[in-house]
Amino acid sequence: MSDCIFCKIVNREIDTELIYEDSKIIAFNDISPVAPVHILVIPKEHFPTIEDAKDSDILSHLFSKVVEIAKMKNLEDYRLIINKGEKAGQTVFHLHIHIIGKRDLKWPPG
């Protein structure tokens, strides 16, 4: 998609330092991190939401690589977030997984 910021990153129209890349995905640091480690992992193919990717093999590839990237970043504990839809907080409509780590969270909350 010509107006998708993540597609522009995939197509090298926007410069960013990649943490990981293979034939199907790329990973890079979030420009507005919420934790010391905040990485976005995205498919190179454009899927607006996780529902659009459900019939593709990309989901298993994404999740297997997320684990590898977390290990590569020495994350023992981390949180994965996928937002689906504007009301859930999705601001870029290109499937992406947030890896959030090195942030102390009190669990359970409250």
Q: What is the three-class DSSP state of 45?
A: coil
| Residues 40-93: tens digit of each pLDDT | 999 999 999 999 998 889 999 999 999 999 999 999 999 999 999 999 999 999
Determine the pLDDT at residue 107: 63
The first and second tokens of residue 24, run together, are 């199907």
Q: Please give the structure tokens belonging to residue 6.
A: 């993540």
Q: Per-residue pLDDT averaged across 2-19, rounded?
A: 94
User: What predicted TM-score, i.e. pTM, was given to this entire model?
Assistant: 0.91
Catalytic residue among 38, 46, 61, 96: 96
Determine the Cα–Cα distance for residues 45 and 25; give it in Å rounded to an integer.
8
Bridge partners, residue 43, by sequence:
25
Q: List the strands of the sheet with 25-29, edge to edge.
A: 18-21, 25-29, 37-43, 97-101, 78-81
Q: What pLDDT does 108 receive?
A: 65
Q: Domain 5-101 adopts which CATH fold? A: HIT family, subunit A (3.30.428)
Give the pair of three-digit tokens for residue 9.
């990153």
Among residues of the chain, what percentage have pLDDT more than 90? 87
46: annotated active-site residue: no
Distance CA 73, CA 58 (A): 22
* C-alpha to C-alpha distance for 52 and 26, rounded to whole angstroms: 18
Q: Which is it for the CA torsion 47, 83, 10, 74, positive or negative?
A: negative
